[in-house]
Structure 1
């Protein structure tokens, strides 16, 4: 018999502690399985740093209500792993601003698909009707005993990755310009024709996209660029077009395009704070239109002076 369960509400603190330790232990198993050098206890502080363009110890403390010693200990561990770097404040040189390092950014890209599956599994095991917190804990523990937390997460990751390989997402670099061009040109030639506007944008991404405040993302597997998508500014009203999404022919049919789409949408909403996105497509691409609708895009009026001759549908996603 489980003695803690027999204590009822009197043992709720101990029950929560035991449940937390079990979840942390299983999360570490997931990280180790995918060779990601990360401690689940560092997640809250690492996540705060990753979402800020520079943050101080005090700001972290205010965000999480952790003790200062706990924050300092976590910061020291992240620093020892090389995941963060420090810069002096321009006004107060005594104040240190914390940023993710290049190594930290790469680790973040590896962690994001794992976090997505962890989030999904946690929602699944915690979604049920309960009469009390104790009842909720009982049901969660029953589900965990029925099928291990780490095993369930790993299975979910396998279902949403390519051949059990984690897809990493990276921002545009000059060295990726050729990949951006070639992936899109191949796709256009396979399904349509390369229009003059396509050639201009694809051959000059710095001019049309990056230089105007846009972003280009790349999907990477084992150091190979396998897909790309862009957020391109259009007009002068802060509107962005989701565009230039292409996946390498040998990697199609493995949901890489959907993962690029998901990553791009989340970045536009959470990191850029955009109110909406638009895209142009063609109705002959039935699978693509279906996926766009699945992610919340709805059809809107297509202007007569559409930038693409092939476009016969315009869609919008409002956040």
Structure 2
């Protein structure tokens, strides 16, 4: 269906901005509802000012937001009705009311702040656009909204951050051997294929890694193993290898948690460097490796992996 408002062009700028604003407010409300938070996104600017100030007047809020007195008063009445703020008399002028967060308001801040952080993150991500005009910018932004709902992106980001904060990195135990095998086999079948060398190592992690002074780490969420990685001795250094994350938890930065743990472990134990093998089609992975300061080095002719077309190294000392 043709977007009539979009076709109007620059003359419809005000209506376009209102449509985007209304959409983002509705989507933000869906986020609050998802996490059972009783809050109205239209109350956010006034509530945030009250939160940032240790006592503020109605007039000061108006001056900060450049809104009308009736609009501010209406918002304050809604916040009072929700019992999120309290009004106290000014010590020097009893006609003046000073606005503070209530106990319930302070409690709400603790619950809602992680959502605000995710909302801000997704807004930055969605609006990082190169364009020649505001209308072009809006066209691209609304297309992003069509590709993925603003609320869904925020909810996923909140859940991702919640997950990573509850992940525990643990050392190898024999009882985790099956998880080590299954996670890696699933990953290989999803992105490549299982080579004979993979099958041999994954089936015998103690023989090929642990008993050779290697290390295997696991990302544990509650009682569930959701990711794994190994540091395998190779040519006087250690290969960061066999990293795999459960498909149910990909996109939650678990791989980065495992990588950082390996780097911290290697640094603590005075490893001189780490190496890894990968494939250039894994663009996101290569980007992350470079983010952690791995640099590309030549792949040897007798590389243990047929699928590998890039080798990288991280110098630690």
Could you say which TM-score interval applies, normalised by the shorter chain?
0.5 to 0.7
Q: CA deviation at 1:154?
A: 0.3
Q: What's 1:125 paired with?
A: 126
Q: 1:286 aligns with which of 264, 268, 281?
A: 264
| Matches for 1:1-319 after TM superposition, within 5 Å | 1-162=2-163, 286=264
TM-score, length basis structure 1? 0.52
Larger radius of gyration: 2
State the distance in 2 between where 1:122 and 1:20 align. 12
Question: What SS is found at the alignment partner of 1:87?
Answer: strand
Report the Cα offset of residue 35 of structure 1: 0.4
CA RMSD of aligned residues (A): 2.6
Q: CA deviation at 1:126?
A: 0.4
Write the distance in 2 (CA, Å) between the matches of 1:164 and 1:66: 39
Distance in 2, Cα, partners of 1:155 & 1:102: 29
Q: Deviations over 1:45-77 (max 9, x none)?
A: 000000000000000001000100000000000
Name the residue aligned to 1:192. Answer: none
Shift of 1:286: 3.4
SS of 2:80's equivalent in the other structure is helix
Q: How far does residue 162 in structure 1 lie from its aligned partner after superposition?
A: 3.8
Aligned length: 175
Asked if the contact 1:88–1:95 (Cα under 8 Å) also holds between the matched residues in 2, the reply is yes
SS state of the match for residue 161, structure 1?
helix
Instruction: Tell me, in whole angstroms, the C-alpha distance in 2 between the residues paired with 1:27 and 1:101.
Output: 23
Contiguous gaps of at least 5 residues in structure 2:
167-221, 227-262, 269-317
TM score, norm. by length of structure 2: 0.52
Deviation at 1:128, TM superposition (A): 1.5
List structure 1 segments (4+ residues) > 2 angstroms apart after TM superposition.
162-165
**How many angstroms apart in 2 are the aligned matches of 1:66 and 1:143?**
30
